[in-house]
Chains A and B, each alone.
Chain A
Amino acid sequence: MTDKPKSAEAKRLATLKEYDVLDTPPEEAFDRITRLAQSALRMPISLISLIDENRQWFKSRQGLNTPETSREVSFCAHAIQRDPPFLVPNALLDERFCNNPLVVGEPHIRFYAGVPLKMKDGSNIGTLCVIDTKPAELTETEMSILSDLARLVVDELELRQLATTDSLTGALTRRSFEKDLDAELERAKRYKHNAALILLDVDHLAGVNETFGHGAGDAVLRKVAAISKQALRTVDVFGRIDGDKFAILLPETGKDGALNVVERLHQEIKSSPAAQDNSLIATTASFGVTVIAETDRTGHGMMKRAGDALRQAKSAGVAKIIFKDADDSLSEVA
């Protein structure tokens, strides 16, 4: 929850998290691709490596036993810093890698070629790479094959994300949001942490659609989603739970922290009209806010309290903020 724009790395990590692929079981769809890279390019090791905050984790691996390494020693962490393929013909002759534990010890990397997995938003979340234990080179055609295979990996990841993400706004779908909400609540109960839930309803969206057309309504939704995502932390969860409603889960956040976020979103949305066909469409949003209660076992109770608060806000007019406490008491914030 910072006023500063997210750093490129925070954005990249948020994108990686959105794909929800870290620590998932191996899948044949990805293993087929690494096996083909291994055999077509005659390399002993082929990996789909995803670069997390402090580690690289392998969604698929051929010729390597370990499921992850620290990010510090990762060749792929270098590869994601640029868009073109990253090549290390002989690691022993490269000052960046000659003392790397993966070079001086197992698996004794000498040659590395990695193509970034560039996702729709431009973030490089990992690589498809091949590794040899002796110095090597790849021809132009072989590099093209590695790039083709990397694109196929991206296709597979994006296909899976289509079912969990709203294509208009990039927010999680309701089902995916609720799944994350339940998981976070379980975590919050176990570690006795706070958690807050915000429901955001775009005021008069149906009217915008009727007056200016659905393209304008879509532009408003995209704008509100962009403002919200920009204002949130990497750990926060953002979903579109209905046509004109978004939900925001703030882990380890109490009432005051949640209301600070809401106030910022409230002001930012009000002062940032959406642009459509040379017109600017001003909008506001109403908010229902709650925090975790002792009795909450799943996300259902929080969703209900925040929903009650939101309905109260909508019936009080537009651009209102209502907080419903864990003891069900309602208070108008703005």
Chain B
Amino acid sequence: MNQCLPVSDTFRAIQTRLDDPNLPAAVRENVEQHFQHLISLAHNLKQLGVDQEEINHHMAEIYGKYELALETNLARIKDIEGALVVTDDEETS
């Protein structure tokens, strides 16, 4: 489906994000889903007759807000994944 669309800066930005090998698995899954859903939306907006420039604008705006939330949460997610270590004699509080 994405071959029908001009490669926008937004999709390149998402691909760059997915190319990061340090992206936690759960986050990667969410970004991949978001990418697919944006591609599908762009395709359907085009089918509806929405102007390509306007589509690119919508993609950039939606991903822009998503990326802000991603940045906010990413550090915390990495902290969480790094902190859960199993030992038999850890302090509880």
Residues of A whose CB lies within 8 Å of any CB of B are: 27-29, 32-33, 36, 40, 141-142, 144-145, 148-149, 151-152, 155-156, 158-160, 162-163, 166-167, 173-175, 199, 201, 204-207, 209, 217, 240-245, 288, 300, 303-304, 306-307, 310-311
- Which B residue's beta carbon lies closest to that of A158? B30
For B58, the chain A residues whose CB sits under 8 A away are 36
For B37, the chain A residues whose CB sits under 8 A away are 148, 151-152, 155
A-B contact count (CB 8 A): 119
For A144, the chain B residues whose CB sits under 8 A away are 40, 44, 47
Out of B65, B87, B92, B93, name the residue touching A32 (CB < 8 Å).
B65
A240 and B47 alpha carbons, distance in the complex (Å): 46
A264 and B64 alpha carbons, distance in the complex (Å): 48
Check if A148 sits within 8 Å of B41, measured CB to CB.
yes
For A199, the chain B residues whose CB sits under 8 A away are 92
Given A205-B88, A311-B92, 20 additional A-B pairs, CB 8 A: A29-B62, A29-B66, A40-B48, A141-B44, A145-B41, A151-B33, A155-B30, A155-B33, A155-B34, A155-B66, A156-B66, A156-B69, A205-B86, A206-B86, A207-B88, A243-B84, A243-B86, A245-B92, A300-B93, A307-B92
A101 and B37 alpha carbons, distance in the complex (Å): 35
Residues of B whose CB lies within 8 Å of any CB of A are: 24-27, 30, 33-34, 37-38, 40-41, 44-45, 47-48, 50, 58, 61-62, 65-66, 68-70, 72-73, 76-77, 80-81, 83-88, 90-93
A243 and B73 alpha carbons, distance in the complex (Å): 21
Out of A36, A141, A160, A206, name the residue touching B88 (CB < 8 Å).
A206
Check if B86 sits within 8 Å of A303, measured CB to CB.
no
A209 and B87 alpha carbons, distance in the complex (Å): 10
Check if B27 sits within 8 Å of A162, measured CB to CB.
yes
For B72, the chain A residues whose CB sits under 8 A away are 163
Check if A310 sits within 8 Å of B92, measured CB to CB.
yes
CB distance from B52 to the nearest CB of A (A): 14
A142 and B86 alpha carbons, distance in the complex (Å): 50
Check if B69 sits within 8 Å of A217, measured CB to CB.
no
A142 and B41 alpha carbons, distance in the complex (Å): 10
Q: When A152-B37, A199-B92, A242-B90 are in contact, do A32 and B26 touch as well, CB less than 8 Å?
A: no
CB distance from A153 to the nearest CB of B (A): 10
For A174, the chain B residues whose CB sits under 8 A away are 83
Out of B25, B48, B69, B87, name the residue touching A243 (CB < 8 Å).
B87
CB distance from A30 to the nearest CB of B (A): 8
CB distance from A42 to the nearest CB of B (A): 10
Check if B87 sits within 8 Å of A159, measured CB to CB.
no
Q: When A167-B26, A242-B92 are in contact, do A217 and B41 touch as well, CB less than 8 Å?
A: no
Pull 12 A–B residue pairs with CB atoms less than 8 Å apart, ordered by A. A29-B66, A32-B65, A36-B58, A145-B45, A152-B62, A156-B69, A163-B76, A199-B92, A205-B86, A205-B88, A242-B84, A243-B85
Q: When A32-B65, A155-B66, A245-B92 are in contact, do A162 and B86 touch as well, CB less than 8 Å?
A: no
A174 and B61 alpha carbons, distance in the complex (Å): 33
A242 and B80 alpha carbons, distance in the complex (Å): 10
For B73, the chain A residues whose CB sits under 8 A away are 159-160, 162-163
A20 and B40 alpha carbons, distance in the complex (Å): 28
Question: 4 shortest A-B CB distances, which residue pairs?
Answer: A307-B92, A243-B86, A29-B65, A307-B93
